[in-house]
Amino acid sequence: VDVEATPARPPTAHTAAAVSAARVTLQGQQLVRVNGYWVFDSWAQGVIAMRRGGLVPRATVGDVLLASLPKSGTTWLKALAFATMARRAWPPASPDHPLRRLNPHDCVPLVDSLFAVGRDKLLDELPSPRLMSTHMPLSLLPATVADGSSNTKIIYICRDQKDRLVSVWHFRKRNDLPDLSLQEVYESVCNGTCFAGPVWDHMLEYWRASNADPGRVLFLKYEEVLQHPGNTVRKLAHFVGQPFSNTEEEADVVAEIVKLCSLENLRSQKVNKEGIRDVIIKFSHDSYFRKGMAGDWRNHMTPELGEHLDSILCDKLDGSGLTI
């Protein structure tokens, strides 16, 4: 890890206040610190523009924003939220359901990357309530979203960091990103310099907001979704103000949504076997679907390494009530 004292290019007047002087290089990928968080250099300007008023929350029918650190189950959450919120227009059993034709990332746009490539105007065209996603921490979102004064509802998903980092490592390998050893990914999580890290601050911001106002931020854990996907779907529907009716419950709509969004079903769709997602870097659709289990880290890391990361997190999350 190479921490430089000065940025490679001088900050513009627009970014000077928000981009700190720190910069790290992880095997060719530049990360720059924006208000305490590590963001891809190529995303930083867009993220700052988004925060400074580029992303305007809709007032009357609020937006729904899915938030996560990468490899926490974002793709699954996108599918579940989309299928739940669109179920009247698209019953989950319909053969031409969008999730049978499109990758979940094409159903729910990632605002950070749209701002990064200057395609954020697309967000204006989304029907209300807009369903969008972000990998940014709460404090890097527009002020009215961060402070809760807008009508935006946030659904956050977090995951055991050991499994998440193993997933990051596999994802990079499957997409031919510059070689990063598991040890390097591990260290970047432990020392806080991974993308959108420090991970503990990322999780804590959403956790605290969820405790302060559970009607505004729904906090989910990947492992709990794995255990009780149906309960998650009900929770999610209730949270966005679209609870399942008795008729829907009797018709097993919840089970249909869970089935539609299952790893097996999504992975088997032609679009997810062959497609490519272009987020400045190109990612194959199939790389988003791997094992989808809890505890895979044991196949890659020693118990000692696992305990070490757990102890760092235990320390950082101490007193917050959040355990992962």
Q: Would you tell me which residues interact with ligand A3P (CB under 6 A)?
A: 68, 70-76, 163, 167, 170, 261-263, 266, 288-292, 296
Give one DSSP letter per residue of 238-253, joined into a string: HHTT-PPPHHHHHTTH
Separation of alpha carbons 123 and 108, rounded Å: 10
Bridge partners (DSSP) of residue 218 are 155
CB of 319 to ligand A3P, least distance (A): 28
Token code pair at residue 226: 């794995």
CB of 201 to ligand A3P, least distance (A): 18
On whether the CB atoms of residues 203 and 158 are closer than 8 A, the answer is yes
State the DSSP code for 43.
H
On whether the CB atoms of residues 11 and 33 are closer than 8 A, the answer is no
CB of 255 to ligand A3P, least distance (A): 15
- Closer CB to ligand A3P, 23 or 170, in the complex: 170
Token code pair at residue 178: 């510059």
Separation of alpha carbons 165 and 172, rounded Å: 11
Separation of alpha carbons 160 and 192, rounded Å: 15
What are the b/e assignments for 15-33, b being 16+ CB within 10 Å? beebbeebbbebeebbbbb
- Residue in 14, 97, 105, 135 annotated catalytic: 135
CB of 261 to ligand A3P, least distance (A): 5
- Closer CB to ligand A3P, 79 or 123, in the complex: 79
CB of 71 to ligand A3P, least distance (A): 4
Give the number of residues written for the chain. 324
Please indicate whether residue 135 is annotated as part of the active site: yes
Closest by Cα among 196, 154, 189 to 36: 196
- Closer CB to ligand A3P, 41 or 163, in the complex: 163
CB of 59 to ligand A3P, least distance (A): 30
Q: What is the CA radius of gyration of the chain?
A: 19
- Closer CB to ligand A3P, 54 or 106, in the complex: 106
CB of 267 to ligand A3P, least distance (A): 8
- Closer CB to ligand A3P, 71 or 202, in the complex: 71
Separation of alpha carbons 311 and 314, rounded Å: 5
Taking the C-alpha atoms of 233, 236, 237 and 240 in order, what is their torsion angle to the nearest 10 degrees? -160
- Closer CB to ligand A3P, 294 or 317, in the complex: 294
Separation of alpha carbons 240 and 237, rounded Å: 5
Token code pair at residue 40: 């891809």
Catalytically active residues are 135
